[in-house]
Amino acid sequence: MDAWVLALAAIAGAIVLAVLIARWVRGRSQMGTESQMATYRTLHIASLAAPALRGGLTEAAATRSVKYLRGLLSVEALAVTDRFSTLAFDGTGDKQRELAVEHAEPALDSGTAVVIGSDQARAVSEMFRSGIAAPLTSDEVVIGALVAYSATPAGPAMMRAVEE
């Protein structure tokens, strides 16, 4: 009789454990839809990049934030410039990082985002097909630019993402 009691207790314990595991797994999947989780991941990455830049557009701040911003934009390379130099560069083509300031000039002068043509983008790396340069402003004054390079042609979605 003791063997039957132990067997029933073991079965009951296994059932309770299975129910607890099922609830735990179900609870994790109910943290949000895939769209909500994507939004959360995007906001999280932005929150990692933003604090460094709040103190001003410096080489140290740009260096701390450029990797996060590149990941957020899903581009092959990203540069942060001021009006005179490339403050930070992350990704393919870093040996040609100073070209980013040249590519940023139209955005710096006009205060609007501009498309970087394939010939200019290829000067940074043969794999690039396009880029976008968007002005960075502080109190409505253009102080620098974000320059994103991509292996695919620039489209409206990339333009909007870099502008934002």
In tens, the pLDDT along 100-137 reads 999 999 999 999 999 999 999 999 999 999 999 999 88
**CB < 8 Å & 24+ apart, contacts of 122-125:** 123/96, 123/99, 124/77, 124/92, 124/93, 124/96, 124/99, 124/100, 124/149, 125/76, 125/77, 125/92, 125/93, 125/96, 125/149
> pTM (2 decimals)?
0.73
Q: For residues 150 and 77, give the distance between their C-alpha atoms in angstroms, rounded to a whole number.
A: 7
User: Chain-wide mean pLDDT for the chain?
Assistant: 82
Q: For residues 90 and 163, give the distance between their C-alpha atoms in angstroms, rounded to a whole number.
A: 18
The helix, strand and coil proportions of the chain, stated in percent and rounded to the nearest 5, come to 55, 20, 20
On the question of pLDDT at 29 being above 60, the answer is no
Centre a 10 Å sphere on the Cβ of residue 132 and count the other Cβ atoms it contains.
27
Lowest mean pLDDT segment, chosen from 25-29, 31-35, 67-71, 114-118: 25-29
